[in-house]
Amino acid sequence: MTDSQAPTSPAAAVGTNPVAAAPAGVRTVADVVTPEVVAQLTRGVTGSGRTANHTPFTGEKLADLPESTPEDVAAAFARARAAQPAWAALPVRARAAVLLRFHDLVIGRQSEVLDLIQLETGKARLHAHEEVQAVAVAARHYGRRASAYLRPKRHTGVVPALTKVTELRQPRGVIGQIAPWNYPLELSVGDALPAFVSGNAVVMKPDTETALTALWARDLLIEAGLPPEVFQVVLGEGPVVGPEVVKHADYVSFTGSTRTGREVAQGAAARLVGVSLELGGKNAMLVLEDADVEKAAAGAVRACFSSAGQLCISIERLYVHESVADAFVERFAARTRAMRLGSALAYGADMGSLVSERQLETVTRHIAEAVEKGATVVAGGVARPDIGPLFHEPTILEGVEAPMAVCSEETFGPVVSIYRFRDEDEVVELANATPYGLNSSIWTRDGRRGHRVAARLRTGTVNINEGYAPAYGSVQSPMGGMKDSGLGRRHGSEGILKYTEAQTVAQQRLIPLAPSFGMDDEKYAAFMSRSLKAMKAFRLR
């Protein structure tokens, strides 16, 4: 079904959410993914086989793509490894300039990538634009701050004034990056930017179904001045290509499920190479009794249903104080039922499609099981094949409890469960009662209280009076998960230094750190003991 064929009247729909009308002259697959575009984007991509990707909007094929064998992956790493030293030899500012030029190109040509993101993921256009924003912010930040993060640092030596110590940051070499399908621009090139500016090459395996977006970003980086051989892309099935990336990489960056993350970590550990993992979440939003209920309801729509809930930091558990629960649920449900669903390559829809049959099956299974065991559907609850094969209404559940799967398992779709609580201690305990620890959200009029509660939550990020955007978008600060939600951080100093090896260079001057000037071992030991006491007295570190 094309955009122009989608029903535009709520009366034609099988559920309550209206359908966003497609504007006249809307672009189609044939307009966006032309043979010329595919040929341009796949230049230099290693693959002796053939594969294809498809759009969730209709299920139709978007493009035929190269598929990599294990030998192709090894060849890609060889090319990247050969090109990396010359790239690393450039001054940091020269590498950073590529990121700043890339920033301008992304913003200037955003309509191209917005079309690709929508076609490959099924997102609403505004949700696709979140990726443009995130990549631009990361490119600007590391383009401006990389020199400060990477510059040599002086440290106090073992004998002040006589031991000169410098900490250097050396690139690891070739980074193996395995990127997911849900944010194909931000979670591919967004994570690669700090790796490039710190002097590394990257071999990336994006998800095949969203490969065109990652390839578009690679094409723009090359236009911005990145040497083509420094950025290799390999495509293919995860179980085949993913382990080959881990097998050859000097460091592995992975975003995906907790189950696969464990496998990646084991493969990296066997080779004694570092790894960063952003994994699953079962994120909680806390609406305290002093919250602005209207603002919290509007924020919950953003927090729960952006990208159809296919966002690792989106909210799936919503805890509301019993004194405001009825008012909140009424407002939240009304806003949710009013959300417009649509597939047009244009602004106007509030939510798009799920990305695959697998995601749709999980959503429908979680809802059906919960209802069967006594939960109530407050809003949504049904699939929308009248719009597209993978559309599902944003859904609110009440009465969810263990052992319903939706209570504890990550749904990764537009489904949120509401729970009522009595006091602050109870809700903190409930929010922390999960093996995950990625993101959380607190709504309160009292900023100090919000910060106090935030410090008690075991999540890598906490947002006060918003769902996820403030913490994620503040790229000078680290972002990542605790517990089963991952290892390492993206953004800030940790997001770039993880792609480097720390090297300490110590120069001893005038006297050695050994018996000298006629001292025997005993006198040298006594001399050093007195020196250590003196350094403590002078508060030397």
- Mean pLDDT along residues 105-111: 98
- Does position 200 have pLDDT exceeding 70, yes or no? yes
Active-site hit among 130, 312, 407, 410: 312
The residue length of the chain stands at 541
Strand 415-421, strand 436-437: pairing: unpaired
Count CA atoms closer than 13 A to 233's CA, side-chain side: 29
- How would residue 1 be classed by pLDDT, with cut points 50, 70 and 90? very low
Residue with tokens 């440290």: 155
pLDDT at residue 13, as a whole number: 40
pLDDT, tens only, 41-77: 999 887 889 999 999 999 999 999 999 999 999 999 9
pLDDT, tens only, 120-175: 999 999 999 999 999 999 999 999 999 999 999 999 999 888 999 999 999 999 99
Rounded to 5°, the CA angle 494-247-273 comes to 35
- Give the C-alpha separation, 208 to 212, whole Å: 8
Q: Of 39, 3, 37, whose CA–CA distance to 22 is shortest?
A: 3
pLDDT at residue 14, as a whole number: 56
pLDDT, tens only, 321-370: 999 999 999 999 999 999 999 999 999 999 999 999 999 999 999 999 99
Report whether 100 contacts 139 (CB < 8 A): yes
312 noted as active-site residue = yes
Cβ-proximal residues to 344 (8 Å cutoff; 6+ apart), any chain: 3, 6, 20, 21, 22, 23, 26, 125
- Does position 440 have pLDDT exceeding 50, yes or no? yes
pLDDT at residue 2, as a whole number: 35
**CA distances to 27, 62, 242 from 126, in Å:** 16, 22, 31
Burial of residue 424 (CB within 10 Å: 0-12, 13-18, 19+) is: middle
- Does position 453 have pLDDT exceeding 80, yes or no? yes
- Does position 27 have pLDDT exceeding 90, yes or no? no
Burial of residue 43 (CB within 10 Å: 0-12, 13-18, 19+) is: exposed
- Give the C-alpha separation, 532 to 512, whole Å: 16
- How would residue 382 be classed by pLDDT, with cut points 50, 70 and 90? very high
Quick count: other Cβ atoms within 10 Å of Cβ 447? Answer: 10
- Give the C-alpha separation, 421 to 401, whole Å: 13
pLDDT at residue 304, as a whole number: 98
- Point out the least confidently predicted range of 7-16, 142-151, 196-205: 7-16
Cis status of the peptide bond prior to 403, with omega within 30 of 0: yes
Report whether 416 contacts 395 (CB < 8 A): yes
- Point out the least confidently predicted range of 218-227, 445-454, 490-499, 511-520: 511-520
Residue type, 366: H
Structure tokens at 410: 């990550």
Burial of residue 517 (CB within 10 Å: 0-12, 13-18, 19+) is: exposed
Cβ-proximal residues to 2 (8 Å cutoff; 6+ apart), any chain: 28, 58
pLDDT at residue 53, as a whole number: 95
pTM of the model: 0.94
- Give the C-alpha separation, 468 to 212, whole Å: 26
**CA distances to 155, 462, 475 from 418, in Å:** 52, 19, 31
- Does position 4 have pLDDT exceeding 80, yes or no? no
Own/partner long-range contacts of 131-134 (Cβ < 8 Å, ≥24 apart): 131/183, 131/184, 131/185, 131/186, 131/190, 132/106, 132/107, 132/185, 133/473, 134/183, 134/186, 134/190, 134/472, 134/473
3-state helix, strand, coil in the chain (%, to 5): 45, 20, 35
Mean pLDDT, the chain, integer: 95
Mapped onto helix, strand or coil, the DSSP state of residue 321 is: strand
- Give the C-alpha separation, 168 to 505, whole Å: 8
- Does position 118 have pLDDT exceeding 70, yes or no? yes
**CA distances to 91, 117, 258, 307, 375 from 413, in Å:** 44, 18, 16, 8, 18
Cβ-proximal residues to 20 (8 Å cutoff; 6+ apart), any chain: 340, 341, 342, 344, 348, 349, 350
The DSSP annotation for 85-110 comes to HHHHHS-HHHHHHHHHHHHHHHHHTH
- How would residue 540 be classed by pLDDT, with cut points 50, 70 and 90? confident
pLDDT, tens only, 230-247: 999 999 999 999 999 999
Active-site hit among 186, 229, 278, 393: 278
- Give the C-alpha separation, 490 to 179, whole Å: 13
**What residues are paired with 201 via a beta bridge?**
174
Quick count: other Cβ atoms within 10 Å of Cβ 198? Answer: 24
Phi, psi of 164, rounded to the nearest 5 degrees = -100, 120
Residue type, 367: I
pLDDT at residue 3, as a whole number: 36
